[in-house]
């Protein structure tokens, strides 16, 4: 997505642009796939940064302007209501932050003042200052909020939706995610992420951009301080004045000629996920499940770290794509119940093909059981009687769609905010540049195209 | 080209890049950013559109001269006339 957005910007201003993609479908992490006639989104639970039409000065508004895509083309509908669920404490939230503030007051009493102080600090921070140094969000947050449980509950959704660092975030990224989830909110097109991708592709074509699919970059040819050519999987060689890579910081370095194979090994993300998808013959709300997204954690501390077992079922994210405020009379063809949890990449990548299926089936059950602890009660037998189909994707799938080392869903822990690399004309965009979420990914592409190619150009 | 014609060109560009802004009450002497929700990305686009549509180059050092509609007209009109000549 970052690549498509960068491509649109450059082609809009008459640059000759070619997007090279190893996968057969566009979208990267935010892609989709079809199986047995059903279409599934890979990454998308929600488009974060959702704001209503007319709200100005937000990333979503900036993006539509920069790409000259009418917001109607994304066909986003707002969420109903979501929740952060810890043992004995729940915090509901909607696209209106005053509701979350009331919830904090209800659950934590006077501590709401510390929440308000933290919010003021978030709003005063310029998270898009590309020259800012990375500082620990935990340290900053502790300066405002004393209640450890409230801290964990705030971090849980923000980390799940974008942190590449274990058990902490960069303060900038915390601010980006806070605004994306709490100040702005969740939206989704009825037909899922493919609507967004379609809008991007149409725009990219309209401005004259070209694509080469199913053909990755094998090697970046280097002469001195410059990338002089790209050698593709099919052996062909392309030259370009500028190269923007959305493959990830380490992945990009390793493509460059003259770099040791192990370069960047201290900057490979450890966080990978599994997701189970249950297709239901009814709307989830018929089972009493009427929320949009539920972030759950079963102990007072929230461990956001590489899973020790195949899957860490102590916490997770539940998503019901049916539970958005779609237009009158519009519903998804089937009910969907998705559960995401942290997983161990090495475990899943080492599995032999014949064990992979069995492990998926086993962990699918475990994930359902774990997630259902935090939902209005439905018996396992009742759920099974409504289940039409199940699927599961693992860290292997993430590697396949993103090419990220170690199936690291949010890329490298150390981001490169200015997008610069060791080569003068090679830049990074996407997850490893450090803007997060779908809107963030696209804005990353836009910003890097602006900063490195359009700005001050002749 | 007159300064009024130049203002019209700049207004057309702003309308194109920020269709959600109301330009009907825009005051020429007051800073664009004080009246409209425009950021540095939008200003980059004003510069890019001037080049693309009209062949006008605005070096980065001169970006501050685009602050208001009037300053745009003062700065850009001679450039337009130079190209025409």
Query: Looking at A162, A184, A206, which one is the last position of a domain?
Result: A184
Buried b / exposed e over A301-322, threshold 16 CB at 10 Å, is ebbbebbeebbbbbbbbbbbbb
Nearest Cα to A306, choosing from A244, A243, A348?
A: A348
CA distance B47 to chain A (A): 9
pLDDT at residue A27, as a whole number = 84
CA distance A388 to A37: 13
Nearest-Cα residue of chain A relative to residue B45: A66
Residue numbers in A near B20 (CB within 8 A): 54, 56, 61, 65
pLDDT band for A401, please (50, 70, 90 cuts): confident
pLDDT at residue A90, as a whole number = 98
Q: What is the pLDDT of residues A212-237, one digit of tens each?
A: 999 999 999 999 999 999 999 999 99
CA distance A65 to chain B (A): 6
CB contact under 8 A, A450 and B41: yes
CA distance A360 to A368: 12
CB contact under 8 A, A446 and B41: yes
| % of chain A at pLDDT higher than 70 | 99
- For residue A93, what are its two tokens? 């939230």
Query: Which residues are A238's β-sheet partners?
Result: A230
Q: Does one domain contain both A129 and A10?
A: no
CB contact under 8 A, B41 and A61: no
Nearest Cα to A255, choosing from A234, A274, A229, A286?
A: A229
pLDDT at residue A109 tops 80 = yes
In a domain, A63, yes or no: no
Q: Does one domain contain both A199 and A218?
A: yes
pLDDT at residue A458, as a whole number = 55
In a domain, A360, yes or no: yes
CB contact under 8 A, B37 and A66: no
pLDDT at residue A409 tops 90 = no
CB contact under 8 A, B39 and A66: no
Buried b / exposed e over A437-454, threshold 16 CB at 10 Å, is bbbbbbbbbbbbbbbbbb
Average pLDDT, chain A: 94
pLDDT at residue B83, as a whole number = 86
Query: Which residues are A78's β-sheet partners?
Result: A187
The set of residues, in sequence order, having a beta carbon less than 8 Å from that of A385 and lying 6+ positions away, is none
Measuring CA to CA, how many Å separate A15 from each of A216, A240, A242, A457? 21, 11, 10, 11
CA distance A122 to chain B (A): 20
Query: Looking at A165, A184, A203, which one is the last position of a domain?
Result: A184
CA distance A366 to A360: 10
Q: Does one domain contain both A388 and A420?
A: no
Residue numbers in B near A57 (CB within 8 A): 37, 39
In a domain, A280, yes or no: yes
Number of domains in chain B: 1
CA distance A197 to A33: 13
Mean pLDDT of A361-390: 97
Cβ-nearest to A455 among B20, B37, B44: B44
Residue numbers in A near B41 (CB within 8 A): 62, 65-66, 446-447, 450
Q: Does one domain contain both A279 and A386?
A: yes
Count of A–B CB contacts within 8 Å?
Answer: 32
CA distance A178 to A17: 34
pLDDT at residue A39, as a whole number = 83
pLDDT at residue A424, as a whole number = 97
Q: Does one domain contain both A378 and A444?
A: no
Residues in chain B: 85
Q: Does one domain contain both A289 and A387?
A: yes
CA distance A206 to A200: 10
| Phi and psi angles of residue A208, each rounded to the nearest 5 degrees, phi first | 95, 15
Cβ-nearest to B41 among A56, A66, A456: A66
Cα separation of the two ends of chain A:
27
In a domain, A329, yes or no: yes
Q: Does one domain contain both A356 and A429?
A: no
The string of DSSP letters for A294-326 reads EEEESSSS---S--SSSEEEEEEEEE-TT-B-P
Q: What is the pLDDT of residues A4-25, one digit of tens each?
A: 999 999 999 999 999 999 988 8
Q: What is the pLDDT of residues A416-437, one digit of tens each?
A: 999 999 999 999 999 999 888 8
CB contact under 8 A, B42 and A65: yes
Local confidence pLDDT in tens for the 85 residues of chain B: 999 999 999 999 999 999 989 999 999 999 999 999 999 999 999 999 999 999 999 998 999 999 999 999 999 999 999 987 7
pLDDT at residue A32, as a whole number = 81
CA distance B85 to chain A (A): 22
In a domain, A58, yes or no: no
CA distance A58 to A439: 10
Q: Does one domain contain both A173 and A261?
A: no
Nearest Cα to A429, choosing from A17, A70, A32?
A: A17
CA distance A268 to chain B (A): 32
Residue numbers in A near B45 (CB within 8 A): 65-66
Q: Which of A65, A128, A450 to mutate to test the interface with B (most CBs of B within 10 A)?
A: A65
Q: Does one domain contain both A174 and A203?
A: no
- 3-state SS, residue A218: strand
Number of domains in chain A: 3
In a domain, A66, yes or no: no
Structural domain including B23 reads: 3-84
In a domain, A50, yes or no: no
Structural domain including A384 reads: 270-401
**Chain B: which residues have CB within 8 Å of chain A?**
16-18, 20, 37, 39, 41-42, 44-45, 48, 52, 57, 60
CB contact under 8 A, B48 and A61: no
Query: Which residues are A18's β-sheet partners?
Result: A210
CA distance B42 to A63: 11
Question: What is the ipTM score, two decimals?
Answer: 0.92
Query: Which residues are A256's β-sheet partners?
Result: A220
Residue with tokens 């058990």, as numbered in its chain: A167
Q: What is the pLDDT of residues A289-319, one digit of tens each?
A: 999 999 999 999 999 999 999 999 999 999 9
CA distance A238 to A137: 42
Mean pLDDT of A32-51: 85
In a domain, A60, yes or no: no
CB contact under 8 A, A455 and B60: yes
Q: Contact, A23 vs A31, CB < 8 A?
A: yes
CB contact under 8 A, B60 and A13: no
Q: Does one domain contain both A290 and A376?
A: yes
CA distance B44 to chain A (A): 7
pLDDT band for A128, please (50, 70, 90 cuts): confident
Q: What is Dmax (Cα atoms) for chain B? A: 36
Q: What is the pLDDT of residues A151-200, one digit of tens each?
A: 999 999 999 999 999 999 999 999 999 999 999 999 999 999 999 999 99
**CATH code for the domain of B39:** 1.10.1200.10
CA distance A126 to A172: 8
């Amino acid at each position: 997505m970052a690549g498509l957005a960068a491509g649109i910007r450059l082609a809009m201003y008459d640059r000759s642009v070619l997007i090279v993609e190893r996968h057969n479908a566009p979208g990267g992490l935010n892609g989709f796939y079809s199986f047995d006639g059903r279409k599934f989104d890979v990454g998308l639970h929600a488009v974060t940064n959702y704001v209503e039409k007319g709200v100005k000065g937000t990333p979503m508004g900036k993006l539509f302007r920069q790409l000259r895509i009418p917001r109607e083309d994304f066909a986003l509908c707002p969420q109903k209501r979501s929740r952060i669920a810890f043992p004995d404490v729940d915090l509901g939230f909607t696209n209106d932050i005053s509701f979350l503030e009331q919830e904090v007051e209800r659950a934590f009493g006077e501590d709401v003042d510390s929440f308000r102080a933290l919010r003021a600090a978030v709003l005063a921070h310029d998270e898009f200052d590309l020259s800012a140094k990375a500082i620990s969000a935990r340290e900053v947050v502790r300066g405002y909020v004393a209640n450890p449980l409230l801290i964990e509950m705030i971090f849980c959704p923000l980390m799940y939706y974008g942190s590449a660092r274990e058990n902490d975030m960069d303060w900038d990224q915390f601010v980006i995610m806070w605004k994306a989830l709490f100040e702005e909110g969740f939206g989704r097109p009825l037909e899922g992420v493919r609507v967004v991708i379609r809008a991007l592709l149409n725009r990219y074509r309209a401005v004259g951009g070209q694509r080469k699919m199913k053909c990755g970059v094998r090697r970046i040819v280097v002469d001195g301080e410059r990338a002089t050519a790209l050698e593709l999987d099919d052996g062909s060689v392309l030259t370009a004045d500028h190269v923007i890579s959305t493959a990830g910081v380490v992945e990009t370095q390793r493509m460059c000629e003259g770099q040791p194979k192990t370069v960047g090994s201290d900057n490979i993300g450890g966080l990978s996920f599994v997701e189970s998808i249950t297709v239901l013959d009814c709307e989830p709300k018929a089972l009493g499940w009427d929320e949009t997204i539920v972030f759950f954690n079963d102990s007072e501390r929230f461990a956001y770290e590489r899973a020790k077992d195949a899957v860490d079922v102590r916490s997770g994210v539940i998503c019901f794509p049916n539970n958005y405020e779609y237009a009158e009379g519009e519903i998804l063809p089937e009910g969907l119940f998705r559960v995401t949890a942290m997983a161990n990449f090495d475990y899943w990548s080492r599995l032999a093909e014949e064990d992979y299926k069995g492990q998926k089936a086993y962990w699918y059950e475990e994930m359902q059981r774990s997630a259902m602890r935090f939902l209005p009660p439905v018996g396992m037998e009742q759920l099974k009687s409504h289940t039409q189909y199940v699927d599961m994707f693992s860290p292997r799938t993430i590697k396949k769609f993103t090419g990220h080392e170690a199936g690291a869903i949010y890329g490298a822990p150390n981001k490169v905010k200015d997008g610069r690399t060791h080569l003068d004309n090679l830049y990074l965009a996407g997850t490893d540049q450090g803007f997060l979420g779908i809107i963030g990914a696209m804005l990353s592409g836009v910003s890097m195209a602006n900063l490195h190619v359009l700005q001050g150009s002749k | 080209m007159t300064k009024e014609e130049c203002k019209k060109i700049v207004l057309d560009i702003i309308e194109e890049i920020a269709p959600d802004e109301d330009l009907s009450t825009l005051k020429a002497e007051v800073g664009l950013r004080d009246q409209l929700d425009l950021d540095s990305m939008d200003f980059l686009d004003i510069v890019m559109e001037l080049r693309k549509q009209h062949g006008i180059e605005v070096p980065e050092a001169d970006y501050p001269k685009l602050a208001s509609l009037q300053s745009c007209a003062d700065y850009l009109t001679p450039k337009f006339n130079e190209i025409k000549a």
